[in-house]
Amino acid sequence: MKYDPKNELSDEQLKKLSEDDFFAYLDAKAAYLKGNTIPLDEYHIKRFTAITNEGKITNNDIILMVPRHNWTNNIFYPAYNKDDSGIFDKQFFVYNETNRGVYKVLESGSGNSVVLPSIISTATFKTSDGYVWKYMYTVGTTELTKFSSNNYIPITPNSYITAAAVAGTIDTIKVENGGTGWAAFNTGTLQNVVNASSVTISSNSSTNTNFYTNSAIYLKSGLGSSQYRTIIGHDGPSRRIVLNDALDLKTNIVLTGITGTFSVNDIVTQNLVALSITSQSGYLQPGDSITQSNTGATATIITSNSSLLRVKPLNDAGFELDLAIDAGRGTTLGNSTVTTSTSSNTVTAAANALFTTFYSTGDYIKVGNYFHRVTAVANNTSLTVAGPFGAAYAANSHYKVKSAATVASITDISAQGVIEFADVNSSILTYDSSTGTFDLGEILTQTSTSTNGIVS
């Protein structure tokens, strides 16, 4: 579009302008525009000789903006108050320059703010300086670069926060007059979640049984916040209460070594195997790599006690019942050679053997690549084991295994949960609808993708 020599747009040019077209002009004579208005019904746009630039504004060039209040240490920030007619002239929200998050003040502390709000969650949270905050959104990097200034930042709504918003939710209550004569109820932190319908309340709560029965409990902040239930039972000494309806339990899990990106509403799983063991010789502990005789199955021990191992399989061989496992702590060489059979449980030694002093019932003997539990020692040259060896050996060396056990039962176990929140680096997940328990140090996988991370 060209300018008309008379410094006005011609009628023909004006006809070409759509009602939805907007143009931006840079004009040195801004003082004139502030003091004069050109009636729109004249359909004339004056052009000043000082106009230096113009451009058509598209939808991509328009965004809602709010004042930029960078969080500053040791400043008092007032809480949002819808009844305050001057609230929009106050700094009731702040911008975190580190994570680009915008946070609204729900409750001011007793003094100035000294803790930078940084948690990204649908729940409200309280910092140690007494301020209660609500995460609103994170300013996108593209929008920040294109639109932000020293005085304003763009609004880029967080769809996850928007979807989690509940109309009519009350996050904070301002008590103008508390009255007198009320029974003293309790505010504190849950000590323990017994199950979804029973929790242990704070240690400073009443020890009088049923003191809180028929009252309500509200979870104000943290995981599972904004839930309330009616208390239908209260045991004073243990401070345990029973709720009328089960809570929606939420759990945070921290990951390292992440590959890919975790997504909200996807399922995450962790698959392990539980091995019940008997006839343990020596010791087995977390971190040991175990190998099973005959099958060749291998795994790493995650947790252990005298009767149960939780292990992560390292191959697809699969464990079998009544076969021995070796914890890999080495062996002690016997003083003779032995002969074994694939059809017999008897191990026969050369004439110089000392079976009666070298082995005891419950020890494990290894010949070749196989090892079994000793069930009886007949004499210096003959003993019986729990099962036949996987190969026939003649005049072979034999060894006593230092740490071993026998598999008595096998259970495939898995932990599973639905992701409700994932931070920007996928290093923190909030999940619910869980089954089982996630183990530290083990890989957690998103079932719909190859995304995984190590539980830390």
Q: So where are the chain's domains?
A: 11-61, 65-164, 192-243, 251-269+412-455, 331-401
Domain 65-164 has CATH 2.170.290.10: yes
Distance between CA atoms of residues 368 and 431, nearest Å: 48
Report the alpha-carbon distance of residue 130 to residue 108 in Å, rounded: 7
Which run of H or E residues covers position 11? helix 11-15
pLDDT tens-digit readout, 322-356: 999 999 999 999 999 999 999 999 999 999 999 99
Query: How many Cα atoms sit within 13 Å of 415 on the Cβ side?
Result: 20
Of 157, 158, 214, the residue nearest 185 (C-alpha): 214
Decide if 65-164 and 331-401 have a common fold.
no
Question: Are 156 and 145 a contacting pair, CB within 8 Å?
Answer: no
**Can you tell me the mean pLDDT for 378-385?**
96
Higher pLDDT, 223 or 100: 100
Q: What is the pLDDT of residue 11?
A: 55
Gap between the Cα atoms of 133 and 77, Å rounded:
11
Two tokens, residue 274: 């539980």
Q: How confident is the model at residue 52 (pLDDT cuts 50, 70, 90)?
A: very low
Distance (Å, whole) CA 238 – CA 215: 18
The confidence score (pLDDT) of residue 16 equals 57
Residue type, 100: R
**Is the predicted pLDDT of residue 96 greater than 90, yes or no?**
yes
Q: Which amino acid would we find at residue 421? A: F
Single-letter amino acid, residue 101: G
pLDDT for 78-89, tens place per residue?
Answer: 999 988 999 999
Two tokens at 291?
């190998």
Q: Is 118 left (phi over 0), alpha (psi -120 to 50) or beta?
A: alpha
Instruction: Give CA angle at 99 (95, 101), nearest 5°.
Output: 40
What single-letter amino acid sits at 92? F
Q: Is the separation of the CB atoms in 27 and 51 below 8 Å?
A: yes
CA atoms within 13 A on the CB side of 310: 15
CATH number of 331-401: 2.40.30.180
Question: Average pLDDT, whole number, for the chain?
Answer: 81
